[in-house]
Amino acid sequence: MKTLISGAGFAGLSTAINLSRAGHDITIVERAPYIRDTGAPLDIRGKAITVAEAMGILPALEASRAGLSENMTIVDANGSEIAPLPGDDVSDSVDDIEIERPDLVQIMLEHLGENVDVIYNDSIETIDDRGKSVGVEFVSGRRESFDLVVGADGVHSLTRRLVFGPETQFRQFLGMYIALARVPSGTVSDRHAKTYSWPDHMVSMAPYGGHVTAAMYFRQEWLDYDYHDPSAQKQLALEELAGHDEWLIPIVRNAIEADPDFYFDSVNQVHMDTYHRGRVVLVGDAGYCPSPLSGRGLSLAMLGASHLAQALSDYPWELERALNTYETVQRPHVVRAQDTAADGGDLLVPATQEELDKRNARLRAAQSA
């Protein structure tokens, strides 16, 4: 089957590996000039570990295991330790694998089959589902027909917008925002991950590979801002830090101002009644984002890629049946992953001082137990 995958993130790469191993001819189109590998490490949990084994990437993942969140410490305004973040709160089991993004990108790229072609600096302009094929026009002007189009282009999916409708129909805003900034080399000498919270806010500082990343969550009502204006996004994050000079907040502020690859977004989930329409199907955050607070986005995307490939193999001449089967098998995993997001928010970003004090007391008690 000739398949187009929109998006070369981890959902797209996972889908490409699974489908290429099943004999599909794959084209991945990525609007960026490269695959973004900045940001916090990612977790591979539960049944996604079995999927990784079937993809042939499990040995490489285990060899690159990071284990950074397992060593995360919660500190107070002076940087004094309150308690370590319990492993049970960040992992499903001891078999879970945490891996840094650059390592995962490299591993997945190395496992793409010869029948996978990756095109950068381009994206889909229009999609015309003709019933027996899908006509695609790209921003570059190129036109091509495919048997299947996979939208794996993230929470703000262009594919979803073109085929299913505007993002507002499917986005569920969780009342928070996330910001990530790389800290200039040599600024922070501590090589241990730490996080500090005050009501409605959380800031962490964590070493990843040869650099340190500052991460920030804050609770806020919906903000209207330009997704394509980094300066405006930086200003929104900086406003949340105004009046705070405790702990390493000044370093976080400077990192936000200086980082050219600063990342900012609302914290959302994506809820859809169906993950496919005709010959177009969604995988990963595009169809069922659980939000970063769940810690299960990567695992869910890997499961989705595997379930899609299996369904297409089981019903090679019945596309509608295959895509319906994919949805039926995948949806229970989506529901479970999305249900965990609230717990992550309560743990990392307590809304009130009372909730913050209760969390700290619970973590201290767990440490001494």
pLDDT at 39: 75
pLDDT at 120: 97
What confidence category does residue 89 fall into, taking pLDDT thresholds of 50, 70 and 90? low
Mean pLDDT (whole number) for 3-28? 97
Q: Which of residues 89 and 361 earns the better pLDDT score?
A: 361
Interior/surface letters 123-156, b for 16+ CB within 10 angstroms, e for the rest: bbeebeeeeeebebebeeeeeeebebbbbbbbbb
pLDDT at 91 over 60: no
- 186-238 pLDDT, tens per residue? 677 666 789 999 999 999 988 876 778 899 999 999 999 888 899 999 999 99
Q: Which of residues 326 and 369 earns the better pLDDT score?
A: 326
Mean pLDDT (whole number) for 92-118? 89
128 DSSP β-pair partners? 135
Residue appearing with tokens 């767990």: 366
pLDDT at 140 over 80: yes
Mean pLDDT (whole number) for 172-186? 90
- 148-171 pLDDT, tens per residue? 999 999 999 999 999 999 999 999
pLDDT at 8: 97
CATH for 2-67+96-170+269-341 is 3.50.50.60
- 266-301 pLDDT, tens per residue? 999 999 999 999 999 999 999 999 999 888 999 999
Compute the distance between CA of residue 159 and CA of residue 4 in angstroms, rounded to an integer: 11
What confidence category does residue 324 fall into, taking pLDDT thresholds of 50, 70 and 90? very high
pLDDT at 119 over 90: yes
Mean pLDDT (whole number) for 41-63? 94
- 302-315 pLDDT, tens per residue? 999 999 999 999 99
Q: Return the domain boundaries, the chain.
A: 2-67+96-170+269-341, 174-268+343-368
pLDDT at 227: 81
Angle at 229 between CA 11 and CA 349, to 5 degrees: 65
Strands 194-198, 263-270: parallel, antiparallel or unpaired by DSSP? unpaired
Task: Tell me what the pLDDT averaged over the chain comes to.
Answer: 92
pLDDT at 208: 72
Same topology, domains 2-67+96-170+269-341 and 174-268+343-368? Answer is: no
pLDDT at 144: 98
- 65-77 pLDDT, tens per residue? 876 555 788 999 9
Measure the CA dihedral 173/33/118/143, to 10°.
Answer: 90
pLDDT at 248 over 90: yes
CA distances from 182 to 62, 209, 216, 217, 229 (A): 25, 12, 12, 15, 18
The strand ranges marked E within the chain are 2-6, 25-30, 42-44, 73-75, 81-84, 97-99, 116-120, 124-129, 134-138, 143-146, 148-151, 171-183, 194-198, 201-208, 211-219, 263-270, 276-277, 280-282
pLDDT at 212: 86
pLDDT at 107 over 70: yes
Measure the CA dihedral 187/192/198/201, to 10°.
Answer: 80
Which fold would CATH assign to domain 174-268+343-368?
D-Amino Acid Oxidase; Chain A, domain 2 (3.30.9)
What percentage of residues in the chain have a pLDDT greater than 90? 76
